[in-house]
Amino acid sequence: MAEIIVPELAESITEGTIAQWLKQPGDTVEKGEFIVELETDKVNVEVISEEAGVVSELLAAEGDTVQVGQVIAVVGAGSGSTASAPAPAAQSEAKEEVKATEAPKTPVAEETTNEQDRTIASPAARKLAREKGINLSEISPVDPMGRVRVQDVSAHGSAPTTTKAAPPSAASATKEDDGRTTREKMSRRRQTIASRLLEVRQNTAMLTTFNEIDMTNVMALRSRKKDKFFEDHDVRLGFMSFFTKAVVAALKKYPYVNSQIDGTDIVKNNFYDIGIAVSTEGGLVVPIVRDADRKNFSEIEANIGELAKKARDNKLALSDMSGGSFTITNGGVFGSLMSTPILNGTQVGILGMHTIQKRPVAIGNEIEIRPMMYVALSYDHRVIDGKDSVGFLKTVKELLENPEDLLLES
């Protein structure tokens, strides 16, 4: 017999959520084969079985929060079926079928069973509800997210048999029934993103300074070089490599922007691991371009392309996302003209790029139409003063308006 245990995920991650069971009770599993997918606030992690055998028991259901080191399944000896087991929603009932020593289940109407299956509940709560003969769908949980826990079952079971949960108000019933609203449980990643963004706003002295960049020269350079660049390096020349190199040069000039706070200390980073925000269906993730100061344009573009593909395919590893020193986010790809980016984790600076828009600007005594981009630097004022923040953004602007200088400065 072998236990499937939630592995160490990362230094700052102590729990995850069962996203999907890849094996069901009765299924054969080979040594090293994936058995479950865990969702953390950063990435999804597939857990393997260390032994070959048959899945005999699942100790957590999809949607349950599990801790590092927790036993979530048991693999026994023997051979079983590779056919698909009961649907994920009926995992708790599937457990009963593989336990020969337990009493047979009392037949229930199919409609009642489906209602219970759709109810989000911890394995312990399901077990207690079965023992007490309580229908999970009749329980009113305390959890605002709607998850039924053991204490909810206990409270329901101790109430008089004539007592029922209060029916929903006429207003809420009408909203649910007429289709005017749709209730959707937030994914674990979305909950964590929300929590961390709120934490950043509450625990930092965040300010934002803005500037605008005339993209004429960098666009002209890119237009001249992109075909030869692709021919030589088999990767497309985009704007992100220019911005990354400009950011590295500015960070070297203003090192406090490349730092973080640790208690009463300011820790200045002597490395340049630049996070590039990527939007995925599950939310925003920030994979890291390591040692961006040591990479040339083609290496940066290739690195960004690889990380973006892994993000879209949900294949990012925790090592791809940990330890960044500064972040770049590009709302311009969605058409954003101007925004205030929020700091990423313990970093004290983040650069926001925006859409390129042709606007009339004064060039000497003449008015010309130029491709302009607003850029924003959000920073932690506890570490960075206005002089450094404005100087940093001005350096980025000047380098991008004179892109040949990037070869010398970065």
Catalogue the active-site residues.
381, 385
Which H or E run includes 407?
helix 406-409
Structure tokens at 150: 């053991």
d(CA 294, CA 376): 25
Helices (H), 281-336: 297-312
Neighbours of 67 (CB within 10 A): 10
Sign for the CA dihedral angle at 292, 293, 298, 301 comes to positive
Total number of residues shown for the chain = 410
Q: Which amino acid is at 378?
A: S
What is the C-alpha radius of gyration for the chain, rounded to an integer number of angstroms? Answer: 27
Structure tokens at 260: 């973080």
Q: Is 132 left (phi over 0), alpha (psi -120 to 50) or beta?
A: alpha
d(CA 312, CA 287): 11
Interstrand relation of 366-380 and 206-214 (parallel, antiparallel or unpaired): antiparallel
d(CA 137, CA 115): 6
d(CA 32, CA 150): 34
d(CA 361, CA 255): 32
Q: Any idea what DSSP says for residue 180? A: S
The answer to whether residues 240 and 306 touch, using CB atoms and an 8 Å cutoff, is no
The answer to whether residues 326 and 347 touch, using CB atoms and an 8 Å cutoff, is yes
